[in-house]
C-alpha cells in the first residue's frame, strides 16, 4: 500500500535508443493504474524500471515518498506477475508461493498459513503439491498471482498477465483480478496491449506511444474525450472512424461539412472552438461506430454509403461501409429493434444512410493530430 | 490385403531385418575391438607365473599377488596424490566454472563480449606452452617434487574459468524471467544461482564435476614435469608409466596392469551411475552452445 511517483523518468539503452521519454505520473495509494499501448511503446520498460529490473537512465522514482532509483528489486517491496508466469519449474506450487516468505525467514507455520490462505482465495488448494508443468495455463497464472499475493507488497506489478491465456479464460481471469483487487487493497500497476483489459480494470489508464504518455485519465475520460488521433483510434473497439472534413465558422457558431452534408456543432463545442479562436480549416472528423445513427431512408443531413461487409455479432451488427470518397466507415447497429425488412435490406452492396450526432463528433487538427474540442 | 501389397510388406520387413542385422554385427565387432585392450589388462593383472610381458593373453596361473604387491610399493601414495588432486580440482573448478558461466549468461557488463572472445582465443593455445614458466613459478613457491599435489591443483584450477562454454550454453536456455521473478521475490544473485539455476541444471553440474575430475585423474605430462625425480610427488599415471622402463618392466609389468585396473575402477563406477546426466549435459549444452 503505497503511492508511486515518477518524475521525468527516462530509459536510454546503450545503443542510444530512448525507450521511455520523460515519464511523469503520480499513482495514488490503492489505485489501479493500467499502462496501455501498442508493442514497443515503452510500457513494459516503464514497469520494469519500477520493479528495478531495468536501470533508470534519468529522473526519479519514488515509492511511498522514498526515492528508490538505485535500490535492488528485493529492497523495493514490490510484487510482480510475469507474462510467462515465471514459475520455478523444480518446485511444487506450495514451494513456489512460499519462496519469497522463506527468503525473508518467515516462521514456517506462518508461511503455511499465508500460502494456504492465498491458495484458497485463488482456488488452487488442491494443486499445492503439484509441479508447475502439471498445471494448465490458467492454473499457472493463479500460482503466479498467489506468489505475488503472499508478499503483502506495497505495489503489485503485472506485466501482461493474461496474454498467454485463451479468450475465455482471459475474460474469467480478468473478472478475478477485479475481485482480487478489492480483496487486496493495494496499489496495482498493470501493463497490457489490450484496450479492453485497460478499460475494464483501470481506475486510470495511461496510454503510451513511442515512449511518451499520450493521455492519462479514467476509462470514461479517455473514451469520451481523447486528446489526439492516436488515443481516439486506440481506445474503443472497433476503432473510431476518421473522415476528412472542413470546419466553418459563422460568428460564434461552427459547422462541419463533409461528403456534401453540413453538420452544425453543439453549443459546448462551439464555445471551446470560439475560445481557441479557431477559423475555417481542414479537420479530421472522428466518430465512433456505436455513436453513428443509421437511417434506412435518405435525409438532408445523412451520408450515403454502400455496405461492404455485414458482420453478425449477435446482439449487434458490425457494418463495414464505403462512402462516396471511397473511405471506410464501420458502424455498430443493435439488432434488437430491427424489423425483418430492415435486416434483409442490410446486404452486400445495398445503400444505407448514416448521420453523426453533434455530441458524438470529435474534431482533430490534421497537422498536429491534436483534438480541437476535447481535452 | 492383396497379395502384391503383402509381398511388398514382406520385402520391406526383410530388408529392414537385414540392415538391422548388419548394423548390429558391425557394432559388435567394433565393441570387441574396443574392449580387447581392457580385457587384456584385466587378465594380465591376475597372471602370477611371470611378472614381465609375455606373448599370450590367458594367464597360466591365476592369483591376486600383483594387487597385494602393489601395496608394498609407492602406489598407495601415488593413488592418494591423484585422488586428492582430482577431488580438489573437481570441487574448485566446478564452483569457478558455474559462477563464471552464470555471470556470462546473466550479467551484461562492459567488455563482456571481448572477454569471451579473448578467452576463446587464449584457449586455442596448447597449455603445454606455459609449462616452463609455470614450473619456474611453482618451484619458487616450493610446490614441486614432494609438494607437487598443491602445485598441480593450483595449475589445474587456475584456468578453469575458461571452460564456461557448455554450462553457459545451458544456462542461456533457462528463461531470464525466472531470475527476475526470484529477484523480485527477494533473492540475491547468489541465492538465485544456488536455489533456482543449479537445481534446474543438474545434468550440467554433474557433467562439470565429472570433466573436472577426469582431467587431473588422467594427467601425465604436467604431473611428470612437476614431480620429476621424486616418488612422493608422482600421480598414478606417472608412477605406473615409470614401471614400464627398461630396468623395471620385467619385474613390474603385471603390477602395472593391476594398477591400471584400480585406476579405471572408480571412474568406471562413477560413469555407470552418472552417464545419463553426462549425455544430457553434453547434448543439453549443445542446443544453444
- Tell me what pLDDT residue B23 has: 95
The average pLDDT across B130-157 equals 87
Q: State percent of chain B over pLDDT 90.
A: 30
Beta carbons within 10 angstroms of residue B243's beta carbon? 19
Residue B285 has pLDDT above 50, yes or no: no
Asked whether the beta carbons of residue A103 and residue B177 sit closer than 8 angstroms, the reply is: no
List, edge to edge, every strand of the sheet that includes A303-312: A293-295, A351-355, A303-312, A316-322, A328-334
Angle at which helix B75-106 crosses helix B112-122, to 10 degrees, equals 150
Distance from CA of B193 to the nearest CA of A (A): 13
pLDDT band at A130 (very low <50, low <70, confident <90, very high): very high
Is there a contact between A53 and B183 if contact means CB atoms under 8 Å apart? yes
Region A327-341 average pLDDT: 88
Q: Are B181 and A82 in contact (CB < 8 Å)?
A: yes
Q: Provide, as residue numbers in chain A, all residues whose Cβ is less than 8 Å from the Cβ of B205.
A: none
Q: What is the mean pLDDT of residues A105-118?
A: 93
Asked if the C-beta of A106 comes within 8 angstroms of chain B's C-beta atoms, the answer is no
**Average pLDDT score over residue span B198-218:** 88
What integer is the mean pLDDT of B217-238?
A: 84
Rounded to the nearest angstrom, the minimum Cα separation between B176 and chain A is 9
Whether residue B279 has pLDDT greater than 80:
no
For residue range A82-104, what is the model confidence (pLDDT) as tens digits? 988 899 999 999 999 999 999 99
Which one-letter DSSP state was computed for residue A365? -
Between A and B, how many CB-CB pairs are < 8 A? 55
Residues 133-192 of B with CB under 8 A from A: 175, 177-178, 180-188, 191
pLDDT of A375 > 80? The answer is no
Residues B178-194: tens digit of each pLDDT: 999 999 998 999 999 99
Better-scored residue on pLDDT, A232 or B284: A232
Q: What is the pLDDT, as a whole number, of residue B281?
A: 63
Min CA distance, A23 vs chain B (Å)? 23
A72 CB neighbours in chain B (<8 A) are 183
User: Residue B178's domain spans which residues?
Assistant: 71-287
pLDDT at residue A220 above 90? yes
Candidates B106, B181, B199: best to mutate against A (most CBs of A within 10 A) is B181
pLDDT for the residue B284 = 52
Residue B14 lies in a domain: no
User: Given A52, A79, A88, which is nearest B178 (Cβ)?
Assistant: A88
Identity of the residue in B177, B191, B200 whose CB atom sits nearest the CB atom of A103: B191
Structurally, how many domains does chain B consist of? 1
- In the stretch 145-174 of chain A, residues with CB closer than 8 A to chain B read 147, 151
Residue-level pLDDT at B283 = 59
Kindly tell me if the per-residue pLDDT of B282 is higher than 70: no
- On the question of pLDDT at A39 being above 60, the answer is yes
Name the phi and psi angles at B220, rounded to 5.
-125, -55
Record: contact A88-B183, CB cut-off 8 A: no
Q: Taking CB atoms and an 8 Å cutoff, what residues of chain B touch A79?
A: 184
Q: What is the DSSP string of chain B?
A: --HHHHHHHHHHHHHHHHHHHHHHHHHHHHHHHHHHHHHHHHHHHTB-S-SS--S-SS-SSB-SHHHHHHTTTTHHHHHHHHHHHHHHHHHHHHHHHHHHHHHHHH---TTHHHHHHHHHHHTTS-GGGGHHHHHHHHHHTT-SGGGHHHHHHHHHHHTGGG--HHHHHHHHTS-HHHHHHHHHHT--HHHHIIIIIHHHTHHHHHHHHHHHHHHHHH--HHHHHHHTT-STT--HHHHHHHTTSTTTHHHHHHHHHHHHHHHHHHHHHHHHHHHHHHHHHHHHHHHT-
Complex ipTM more than 0.90, yes or no? no
**Residue A182 in 3-state DSSP?**
helix
Q: Is residue B175 part of a domain?
A: yes
DSSP for B218-240? H--HHHHHHHTT-STT--HHHHH
State residue B101's pLDDT score: 93
Pairwise CB contact (< 8 Å): A79 & B184: yes
Residue A250 confidence class, pLDDT cut points 50, 70, 90: confident
Say which residue, B130 or A199, is predicted with more confidence.
A199
At residue A296, the pLDDT reads 83
Strands, sheet with A261-264, edge to edge from the N-terminal-most edge strand: A261-264, A253-258, A241-250, A281-287, A362-364
Contact A151 B196 (CB under 8 A): no
- In the predicted structure, residue B97 carries a pLDDT above the cut 90: yes
| A317 DSSP β-pair partners | A312, A333
Which pLDDT band holds residue B275 (cuts at 50, 70, 90)? confident
User: Which CATH number, 3.40.50.300, 2.40.50.140, 2.60.15.10, 1.10.10.10, labels domain A234-364?
Assistant: 2.40.50.140
| Among the ranges given (A305-309, A345-349, B88-92), the one the predictor scored with the smallest mean pLDDT | A345-349
pLDDT for the residue numbered B1: 54
Q: Where are the domains of chain A?
A: 4-233, 234-364
What's the pLDDT at A297? 83
Q: Is the pLDDT of residue B286 over 50?
A: no
| Domain membership flag for residue B244 | yes
Chain A contact set for B183 (CB, 8 A): 52-53, 72-74
* Mean pLDDT of all residues in A230-254: 89
Residue B189 lies in a domain: yes
Looking at residue B288, what is its pLDDT?
A: 32
- Better-predicted residue by pLDDT, A45 or B246: A45
Best of A75, A78, A82, A102 to substitute, by most chain B Cβ atoms within 10 angstroms, is A82
Residue B177: which of A73, A78, A84 has the nearest Cβ? A84
Best CA proximity match to A127, nearest among A93, A97, A99, A95? A93
Candidates A48, A73, A77, A133: best to mutate against B (most CBs of B within 10 A) is: A73
CATH number of B141's domain: 1.10.3720.10
Per-window interface: A 7-36 vs B, CB < 8 A: none
Nearest-angstrom CA–CA distance, A233 and A242: 9
- Average the pLDDT over each of A209-218, A236-245, B279-288 and give the range with the smallest value: B279-288
Q: pLDDT tens for residues B26-69? A: 999 999 999 999 999 999 899 888 888 888 888 888 888 889 98
Q: Which CATH homologous superfamily contains domain A4-233? A: P-loop containing nucleotide triphosphate hydrolases (3.40.50.300)
- Which residues of B fall within a CB distance of 8 Å from A87? 181
Query: Does residue B20 lie in a domain region?
Result: no
Q: Which of A74, A87, A101 to mutate to test the interface with B (most CBs of B within 10 A)?
A: A74
| Chain A residues touching B180 at Cβ < 8 A | 51, 53, 73, 80, 82, 86
Which residue of B175, B177, B186 is in closest CB contact with A74? Answer: B186
Which residues of B fall within a CB distance of 8 Å from A104?
A: 186
Identify all chain B residues contacting A84, using CB atoms and an 8 Å cutoff.
Answer: 175, 177
Cβ-proximal residues to A249 (8 Å cutoff; 6+ apart), any chain: A273, A278, A279, A280
3-state DSSP of A9-45: EEEECCCCCEEEEEEEEEECCCCEEEEECCCCCCHHH
The least confident of A355-359, B105-109, B117-121, B273-277 is B273-277
pTM over cut 0.90: no
Best mutation site among A88, A140, A159, A189 for testing chain B: the one with the most B CBs within 10 Å?
A88
**Which chain A residue lies closest to B186 (C-alpha atoms)?**
A74
Nearest CA in chain B to A89: B200
Average pLDDT, chain A: 90
Binned at pLDDT 50, 70 and 90, residue B125 comes out as confident
Which of A99, A141, A147 should one mutate to test binding to chain B, selecting the residue with the greatest count of B CBs within 10 A? A99
Amino acid at each position: 500500500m503505497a503511492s508511486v511517483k515518477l518524475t521525468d523518468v527516462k530509459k536510454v539503452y546503450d545503443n542510444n535508443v530512448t525507450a521511455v521519454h520523460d515519464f511523469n505520473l503520480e499513482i495514488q495509494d490503492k489505485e489501479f493504474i493500467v499502462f496501455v499501448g501498442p508493442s514497443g511503446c515503452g510500457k513494459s520498460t516503464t514497469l520494469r524500471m519500477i520493479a528495478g529490473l531495468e536501470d533508470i537512465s534519468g529522473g526519479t522514482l519514488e515509492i511511498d515518498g522514498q526515492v528508490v532509483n538505485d535500490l535492488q528489486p528485493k529492497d523495493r517491496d514490490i510484487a510482480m506477475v510475469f507474462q510467462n508466469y515465471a514459475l520455478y519449474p523444480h518446485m511444487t506450487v506450495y514451494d513456489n508461493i512460499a519462496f519469497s516468505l522463506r527468503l525473508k525467514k518467515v516462521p514456517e507455520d506462518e508461511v503455511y498459513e499465508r500460502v494456504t490462505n492465498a491458495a484458497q482465495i485463488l482456488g488452487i488448494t488442491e494443486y499445492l503439491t503439484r509441479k508447475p508443468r502439471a498445471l494448465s495455463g490458467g492454473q499457472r497464472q493463479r500460482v503466479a498471482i498467489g506468489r505475488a499475493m503472499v508478499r503483502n507488497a506495497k505495489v503489485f506489478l503485472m506485466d501482461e498477465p493474461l496474454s498467454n491465456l485463451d479468450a475465455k479464460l482471459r475474460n474469467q481471469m480478468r473478472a478475478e483480478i477485479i475481485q482480487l483487487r478489492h480483496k487486496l487493497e493495494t496499489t496495482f500497476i498493470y501493463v497490457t496491449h489490450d484496450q479492453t483489459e485497460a478499460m475494464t480494470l483501470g481506475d486510470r489508464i495511461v496510454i503510451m506511444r513511442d515512449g511518451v504518455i499520450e493521455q492519462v485519465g479514467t476509462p470514461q475520460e479517455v473514451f469520451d474525450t481523447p486528446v489526439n488521433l492516436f488515443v481516439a483510434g486506440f481506445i474503443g473497439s472497433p476503432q473510431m472512424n476518421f473522415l476528412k472534413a472542413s470546419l466553418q465558422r459563422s460568428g460564434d457558431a461552427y459547422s462541419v461539412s463533409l461528403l456534401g452534408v453540413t453538420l452544425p456543432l453543439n453549443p459546448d463545442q462551439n464555445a471551446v472552438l470560439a475560445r481557441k479562436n479557431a477559423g475555417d480549416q481542414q479537420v479530421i472528423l472522428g466518430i465512433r461506430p456505436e455513436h453513428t445513427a443509421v437511417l434506412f431512408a435518405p435525409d438532408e443531413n445523412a451520408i450515403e454509403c454502400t455496405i461492404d461487409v455485414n458482420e453478425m455479432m449477435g446482439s449487434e451488427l458490425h457494418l463495414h461501409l464505403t462512402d462516396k470518397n471511397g473511405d471506410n466507415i464501420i458502424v455498430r447497429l443493435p439488432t434488437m429493434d430491427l424489423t425483418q425488412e430492415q435486416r434483409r435490406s442490410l446486404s452486400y452492396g445495398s445503400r444505407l444512410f448514416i448521420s453523426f450526432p453533434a455530441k458524438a463528433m470529435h474534431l482533430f487538427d490534421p497537422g498536429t493530430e491534436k483534438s480541437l474540442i476535447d481535452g | 490385403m492383396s497379395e502384391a501389397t503383402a509381398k511388398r510388406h514382406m520385402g520391406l520387413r526383410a530388408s529392414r531385418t537385414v540392415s538391422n542385422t548388419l548394423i548390429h554385427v558391425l557394432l559388435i565387432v567394433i565393441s570387441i575391438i574396443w574392449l580387447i585392450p581392457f580385457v587384456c589388462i584385466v587378465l594380465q593383472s591376475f597372471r602370477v607365473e611371470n611378472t614381465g610381458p609375455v606373448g599370450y593373453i590367458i594367464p597360466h596361473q591365476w592369483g591376486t599377488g600383483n594387487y597385494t604387491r602393489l601395496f608394498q610399493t609407492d602406489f598407495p601414495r601415488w593413488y592418494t596424490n591423484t585422488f586428492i588432486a582430482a577431488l580438489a580440482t573437481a570441487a574448485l573448478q566446478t564452483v569457478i566454472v558455474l559462477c563464471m558461466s552464470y555471470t556470462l549468461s546473466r550479467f551484461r557488463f562492459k567488455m563482456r563480449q571481448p572477454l569471451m572472445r579473448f578467452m576463446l582465443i587464449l584457449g586455442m593455445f596448447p597449455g603445454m606452452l606455459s609449462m616452463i614458466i609455470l614450473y619456474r613459478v611453482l618451484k619458487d613457491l616450493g610446490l614441486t617434487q614432494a609438494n607437487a599435489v598443491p602445485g598441480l591443483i593450483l595449475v589445474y584450477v587456475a584456468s578453469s574459468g575458461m571452460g564456461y562454454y557448455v554450462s553457459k550454453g545451458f544456462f542461456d536456455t533457462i528463461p531470464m524471467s525466472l531470475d527476475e521473478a526470484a529477484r523480485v521475490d527477494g533473492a540475491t544473485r547468489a541465492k538465485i544461482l544456488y536455489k533456482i539455476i543449479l537445481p534446474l541444471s543438474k545434468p550440467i553440474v554433474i557433467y562439470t564435476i565429472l570433466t573436472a575430475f577426469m582431467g587431473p585423474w588422467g594427467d601425465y605430462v604436467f604431473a611428470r614435469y612437476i614431480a620429476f625425480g621424486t616418488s612422493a610427488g608422482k600421480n598414478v599415471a606417472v608412477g605406473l608409466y615409470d614401471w614400464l622402463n627398461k630396468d623395471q618392466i620385467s619385474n613390474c609389468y603385471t603390477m602395472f596392469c593391476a594398477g591400471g585396473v584400480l585406476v579405471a575402477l572408480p571412474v568406471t563406477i562413477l560413469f555407470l551411475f552418472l552417464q545419463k546426466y553426462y549425455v544430457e549435459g553434453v547434448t543439453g549444452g549443445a542446443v544453444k552452445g
